[in-house]
Amino acid sequence: MNKKIVFIAITLLLIIIILASFYGIKPSVKSGSLDGINLPGGFNIDVFAETLDGSSISYPGPNSGPRMMLLRDNVLFVTIPNTGKVVALPDKNDDKKADEVVTFIDKLNNPHGIDYFDGWFYIAEENRVIRVKESGNDLHADMNTFEVLIDNLPTGGHFTRTVKIHNNSLYLSIGSSCNVCIEQDERRAAILKCNLDGTGCRVYAKGLRNSVGFVFQPETGVMYATDNGRDMLGDDIPPDEINIIEDGNNYGWPICYGKNIHDTDFDKNVYVRNPCMEPFEMPSFIDLQAHSAPLGLAFYYGNSFPQEYRGDLFVAYHGSWNRNVPTGYKIVSIDMKNFTVTDFATGWLKDSNVLGRPVDIIVAGDGSLFVSDDNAGKIYRISY
């Protein structure tokens, strides 16, 4: 009997070791102070708002706390998917701290993306896109104006939907339903372009496994997007990506990744030549460390950071799960003159303990950066 128990214990231990080496060890998650956050000289980080529903969750998923942000008339609006809310964070006395947390709208289905145009707040839920106006200036949605623009989005898999309004069109990113597969719905693993009223939607760009964040470069109008590569190919492949998104292009997934690399682990067909070199199979613009999980991104054209940062692209790394040695959990800056990637804010990962998971980045009116953290349930403000 004792031998049987020992045998079972050893077998279970071996299974755990094998699974850990294959899937990666999830780091423990603890909320912490900002004392250990490392920034370049002259920069400071402070908490702008907190207790936004992330800190009480022992190992939060990607929908646990504050995600995407919008700054409107000096009020920060933030989506909180797991509560079904969009909240408003006013700073009326300009002390760089939110005065209160006001529920702008609630009872939504995993609200994630948010944008504003011509009096309307556009909000992307998991299954639909809505828009609503504010009721006067009281930071509450006027439900008499509530409209459902798109009502049949695919659900499950990567649940986040990000919406942006640009040049009188609505852009919507929808992640894949799987780690790696051939999608049956062409809207998945793609960015759609629609009319402002939600009609006329079409696939604008495809082959994007999970482009949670995308942004239009202020001076050129060119769209840049992050993309999270597939899992289960090891610690260092495939790279996560920054892509320049253009109409009609295919960015490769699930057949290709990075600089037109063929994913032969998934696509086992025999080709005379690399299928990733076909027309419209676009290579990545910038390769990032695999499993970093880049999400939100923002171009810096504010007036308070040193001149060397002007025009840089800031990217939030949400952090790994499918990696033996955790990576990410930081903010990087990308010099758009030579495309070098440099750590900007680090320290949310301490000895495999995760203190924070950056999600979105936006530039405030005073030139500081707002950063959302869906692990700690906080919004940070980085200033110089």
pLDDT digits (tens, 9 = 90+) for 136-151: 889 999 999 999 999 9
Q: Helix, strand or coil for residue 186? A: coil
| Measured CA distances, 5 to 8, 10, 14, 15, 141 (Å) | 5, 9, 14, 15, 61
The answer to whether the Cα torsion of 107, 169, 202, 248 is positive or negative is: negative
Amino acid residing at 213: G
Q: Is the pLDDT of residue 13 over 80?
A: no
Top-level CATH class of 2-383?
A: mainly beta
| Measured CA distances, 361 to 59, 183, 317, 341 (Å) | 22, 30, 11, 16
Q: Helix, strand or coil for residue 8? A: helix
Angle at 340 between CA 44 and CA 216, to 5 degrees: 75
pLDDT number for residue 5: 54
**Mean pLDDT (the chain, rounded):** 90
**Which pLDDT tens digit goes with each residue over 66-121?**
999 999 999 999 999 999 999 999 999 999 999 999 999 999 999 999 999 999 99
Measured torsion, CA atoms of residues 88, 120, 311, 222, in degrees rounded to the nearest 10: 140
Domain boundary assignment for the chain: 2-383
CA distance 333 to 336: 9
pLDDT number for residue 4: 55
**Which pLDDT tens digit goes with each residue over 262-304?**
999 999 987 878 899 877 689 999 999 999 999 999 999 999 9
